[in-house]
Chain A
Amino acid sequence: MKKEILLVEDEKAIQLLISYNLEKLKYKTIIKETAEEGLEFLEMNESLPQIIITDVLLPGMNGINFCKLVKSNPSMSHIPVIILSSVDFDFYREGAEKAGADYFLTKPFRIKDFINLIQNLLS
C-alpha cells in the first residue's frame, strides 16, 4: 500500500508541485485546501497519513493552529508535521515550535531538500 501524505495548501501550483514530486516517489498525496477540511479528513478516516504538510496562511484556521490541534490529539500526535511557510518571521517559527511542529520549511524551498526530508521521515 502506498504511503499517504496529507497536504493542506490552498495554492493550486504548490499543490501540484508537491504532489507531482511525491507521486514520483510513489507516495500518495491527499490534498485539502483548508485546515478545517484537513481536520475533518483526519477525524473521518480510519487510516492516518504518515506525514502532514501544511501551509500557514490558509483561508479560515491557520496552519499553526491546525498543527496545534493535531499535536494535542493523542491519536494523531505521533504524525510528523511539516509547516510550509511563506513568511519567515521568528514569530512564525516560534509559533510553529510551540504548536509542536516537527519541521519548518520556508517557501521558496529546494525540491531536493524537501524530498530528502520526506524520505528521512518515512525511512
Chain B
Amino acid sequence: MNYSKKNNFFEILNNEGKNFDMIIVTDSGGVIKLYNNVLSQLCNSANKDEILLQEINLNQLFKSDEQTINDIINELHKSNIIEGKLDFALSYNQRIPLDYKAYKISEDLESQFNFIFIFKFSEISDIERDPLEQEPFLRRLNKSDEITNNDYSVLSLDELERLKEDFLSNVSHELRTPLASIIGFTETLKSDPNLPKDILLEFLDIILNEGKRLAATINDLLDVSQLYKGQLTLQKKVIEIQSILKGVYERYKPLANNINLAISLPEKPCFILADDSKFTQAIGNLVSNALKFTPEGGSIDIILKSSNKYFTIEIKDTGLGIPKNEIDKIFDRFYKINRPGLETRGVGLGLAITKKIIEQHNFQIEVESEENKGSIFRIIIPNKS
C-alpha cells in the first residue's frame, strides 16, 4: 500500500483530536524520534533533548504483559493500525498503565518517522489531565502549509525545533499582561482626572514599569532568535571589566530594596576583548535574576577576581537557590522553575541569552546552587593580557 505521508499523518491527528495525553513518533525499529512534553515529564529528563540524544527505543520505556514491544513493531510493519495496552515503566516495580493506538505512517525503512503511538492514561480522571499541556504539540503538528510542501526527513529538524519551543502561551502571557496594565491604568486615569496625587503617581509608575517589562520581553525574544540562528555578530573591543561591573551595579542598586547589593573589584584594571553591550547585558541578566530570587534581608555580591590565567566574575546571592534536579535545565530556552506562591513572571529567556552571549565570546559560565541557601553564577574569562 502506498502511503501519502502528509495525509496519513494529519488524518490521524485530526481523527484523534485532543483526545490523548502523549504522542511518540518512532522510526521503523521503534527508536523515538519525536515526542511531546508528557514523555519528558514521565522520564523526568534533565534535558529536553535527552531522549533524542540517547536514541531511546520504546522497549526501554514501555512494558506489556501481552506482547513485547518488538512484537508490536513487527505487527505494525504488517498492519496499518493496532491498539492495546502498555505500561510505562516508571521504575522497577512502578508502572503507569496506558491505552495506545499505533499507526504506520511510512513504509520507507530509511525514514525517521514510521510509526505514531498515541497514548491515553488508563487511570486518570478528567480533572487531573491538564488541558493546557496538550495544546502546543497539537498546534505545531497542525501547522499546515510549511509542512505539506516538504518531506518529513527535511522537515524534521525544523519541526523538532518547534516541538522544543513550548513557549507561545508563555510569550502571550508576557506580552498581554503588561499591556493589560498599561491600557487598564491609563483608562482608569483618564476616567478620573481628580485622582489624588499619590495614587496618580503610583499608577504612572506601574504604567512605566509595565512598559519597560514589555520592552524587555520584546528585546529578549529578538535577541534569542538572533543568538540561536547564529546571526549575532559581536562588536568586540578592549573593555575594562571593572567599568562594566560598576555600570551594572549602579543600574541595579536602586532596585535592591532591602537587599544588600555589594561589589568587590581588584584595583588593577582587567582588560578583555568583548562586545561591550552584549557582555553588559549578560552580567545584567545575572544580577537581575539574583534580585528576583533573593528575598528581602538577603545579599548579592558582584565579585571580580584576577589571576595570571583567568578573570573570574561571580554573582553570588543568598536567594532561593535552584533545586538539584533543575540545575541542568536552567540555561534552556523558556525554562522556568515553578515556584508556587511567586509570580510567574518572565518568559524564561534571560539565562539562555546570557549563556549564549558568554559562549559566543569563548568564555565559560557555570553555576553552583543550594536550595534555600543561594546561588553563585561564575563567568570564567581567559586572561590574555
Question: Which A residues are closer than 8 A to B by beta carbons?
Answer: 10-14, 16-17, 20-21, 24, 33-34, 36, 56-60, 62, 64-65, 68-69, 72, 86-89, 91-92, 95, 98, 106-112
Enumerate chain B residues within 8 angstroms of A34, measured Cβ to Cβ: 340-341
Question: Which B residues are closer than 8 A to A by beta carbons?
Answer: 18, 127, 130-132, 135, 138-139, 168-170, 172-173, 176-185, 187-188, 191-192, 206, 209-210, 338-345
Whether A59 lies near B181 (C-beta < 8 A) is: no
A58 to B344, CA, bound (A): 7
Whether A14 lies near B180 (C-beta < 8 A) is: yes
A92 to B132, CA, bound (A): 7
Say yes or no: A86-B185 contact (C-beta < 8 A), given A11-B343, A92-B132.
no
Enumerate chain B residues within 8 angstroms of A12, measured Cβ to Cβ: 343
Enumerate chain B residues within 8 angstroms of A111, measured Cβ to Cβ: 184, 187-188, 191
Nearest Cβ in chain B — how far from A104, in angstroms? Answer: 14
Nearest Cβ in chain B — how far from A1, in angstroms? Answer: 25
Enumerate chain A residues within 8 angstroms of B176, measured Cβ to Cβ: 86-88, 106-108
A123 to B138, CA, bound (A): 41
In order of increasing CB-CB distance, the 4 nearest A-B pairs are A107-B180, A108-B180, A13-B181, A86-B176
Say yes or no: A91-B184 contact (C-beta < 8 A), given A11-B177, A59-B340.
no
A64 to B340, CA, bound (A): 17
Enumerate chain A residues within 8 angstroms of B127, measured Cβ to Cβ: 65, 68-69, 72
Closest to B182 in A: A108
A34 to B179, CA, bound (A): 22
Enumerate chain A residues within 8 angstroms of B169, measured Cβ to Cβ: 57, 87, 89
Whether B181 lies near A17 (C-beta < 8 A) is: yes
